[in-house]
């Protein structure tokens, strides 16, 4: 057992030659990122509203101005919660960087969709 962030214990998988580095990083990220995500959601009402809306239309996707209109927030606040914006919304605690929301681009439009990790993290808050 190794102790991950915030004192949470997680088990490190056996390192073998055929174990790809990406898998190991993804394993560690899903084990340590959830407490950071919970902290970020508890800290920001705007992040909670944006993730809550995306989960209400799950598995559908939406764009930033539609999210702002449905949640009655400003577009800059929504973009900040999703991607990070200057000092008010830090990039490392943005919903996209925490893997709670998936960002896709199609024909110069950027769409956002909640992820499975986002749904699990939301359920731990409720």
Q: SS3 for 76? A: helix
In a domain, 25, yes or no: yes
Q: Give CB contacts under 8 A, 24+ apart, made by 35-40.
A: 35/5, 35/6, 35/8, 36/5, 36/93, 36/98, 37/98, 37/99, 37/100, 37/117, 37/121, 38/121, 38/124, 38/125, 40/93, 40/98
Distances (CA, A) of 37 to 15, 47, 65: 27, 10, 24
Residue 12: its pLDDT value, please? 47
Q: Which residue range(s) make up the domain with 36?
A: 2-9+21-125
How many separate domains does the chain show? 1
Residue 40: its pLDDT value, please? 83
In a domain, 86, yes or no: yes
In a domain, 15, yes or no: no
In a domain, 14, yes or no: no
Give, rounded to a whole angstrom, the gap between the first and last alpha carbons of the chain. 29
**pLDDT one digit per residue (tens) for the chain, 126 residues:** 444 444 444 544 444 444 444 544 444 444 444 788 888 888 889 999 999 999 999 889 999 999 999 999 999 999 999 998 877 888 888 899 888 999 999 899 999 999 998 888 888 887
The CATH number assigned to the domain holding 114 equals: 1.10.10.10
Residue 37: its pLDDT value, please? 82
Residue 82: its pLDDT value, please? 93
CA 100 to chain centre: 2
């Amino acid at each position: 057992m190794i102790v991950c962030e915030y004192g949470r214990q997680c088990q490190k998988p056996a390192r073998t030659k055929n174990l790809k580095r990406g898998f190991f990083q993804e394993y560690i990220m899903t084990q340590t990122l959830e407490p950071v995500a919970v902290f970020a959601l508890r800290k920001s009402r705007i992040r909670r509203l944006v993730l809550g809306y995306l989960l209400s239309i799950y598995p559908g996707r939406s764009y930033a101005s539609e999210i702002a209109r449905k949640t009655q927030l400003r577009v800059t606040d929504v973009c900040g919660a999703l991607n990070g914006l200057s000092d008010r919304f830090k990039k490392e605690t943005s919903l996209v960087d925490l893997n709670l929301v998936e960002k896709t681009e199609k024909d110069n439009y950027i769409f956002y969709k909640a992820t499975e990790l986002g749904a699990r993290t939301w359920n731990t808050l409720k």
